[in-house]
Structure 1
Amino acid sequence: MMLDIRDIMEIIPHRQPMLLVDKVEILEEEKRAVGYKGVTYNEPFFAGHFAAEPVMPGVLILEAMAQTTAVLLLNREETRGKIGYFGGINKAKFRKKVQPGSLLRMEIEVVKRRGPVAVVSGKAYADDGLAAEGEMTFMIGE
């Protein structure tokens, strides 16, 4: 199931300029998803990061992965209106620069889930090269 920007904004509360995912494909409900973000020169963070060589901040790559995770975890009738909060980030590594013109693809897989807590493994690719990876913990709250 492919969700577009309108669907995403019904599931998570993020809005521009902090909405960092354009589409999410649910591959396996509550288990696996792929998010997509077309990274453009118009992104507000590129004005200062870095002016001479624009690079997407690593923390925003992790945020895009987190938003993809939130869509995956909250895309059910019983979780609509709830929020996915970061509980922690482990083993985060940055492997490749993400620059304007890149297609950022975030692959998310739930590793463990117990009640409102989920641990996921995430990888972000920029133009088919691994850009970042990490393990994230989420809490689903009101």
Structure 2
Amino acid sequence: MEEYNTLYDLNAIDIQTYQKNRYPMLFIDYVTEAKPGQYAKGFKNFSYNEWYFPVHFDDEPNVPAFVQIEGLTQMFLMTFLTIPEYKGMKTGFVSIDGAKFKRKIEPGERLDIEATLDSFKRGVAKGHVESYVNGEVACTIKLTITIPDVLKKYRPA
């Protein structure tokens, strides 16, 4: 695979140039480092002002599992959508495997996320993602994501 320059310090505006997610469904705040075709690292800060905390749950607010999965997925997207030819393309889930939730994430906590691209062929990306709160594992997941516009080029006519 071709070697690309490492990207540093991508804020929410920068992230949106690489992927299609937007508020209220943008679940990563910052990418501290992304090596296109290899890995991405960054974080999400969870403020009590998040729209889901009052209903999940009012007496014990915590981050819903779907928000965690989506946040980890969005960091994973940065492992391959930072490759110039794929920048800004639409993506779709193929599989979510082995999701493990190790701890509750509460308002005021920061979720650090590390995504690794294991393979990327014909528009299909496979990899794994781990997240941490204060160095403690919060969630892990294995993902397969596709770029439909690339994948369809390889389908038989």
Aligned to 1:82: 89
Deviates more, 1:76-85 or 1:54-63: 76-85
TM-score w.r.t. length of structure 1:
0.93
Partner of 1:61: 68
- For the residue of structure 2 that corresponds to 1:71, the secondary structure is helix
The verdict on how the C-alpha distance between 1:71 and 1:28 changes in structure 2, with shifts beyond 3 A counting, is closer
**Counterpart code for 2:96:** I
**Alignment partners' CA distance in 2, 1:131 and 1:121:** 14
Gaps in structure 2 of 5+ consecutive residues: 1-7, 150-157
Match of 1:83, SS state, is: coil
* Residue in 2 that maps onto 1:132: 139
> By percentage of residues, which structure has more strand?
1
> Equivalents in 1 of 2:127, 2:135: separation in Å?
21
After the TM superposition, list the runs of 4 or more consecutive aligned residues in structure 1 that deviate by more than 3 angstroms.
none
**Number of residue pairs aligned between Structure 1 and Structure 2:** 142
Percent sequence identity over aligned pairs: 30
Letter of the 2:148 counterpart: G
Distance (whole Å) between structure 2 residues aligned to residue 133 and residue 5 of structure 1: 23
Asked if residue 33 in structure 1 is aligned to residue 40 in structure 2, the reply is yes
The 5 A counterparts of 1:1-142 are 1-142=8-149
Length-normalised TM-score, structure 2: 0.85
The CA RMSD over aligned residues, in Å, is: 1.3
- Any stretches of 5+ residues in structure 1 without a counterpart? none
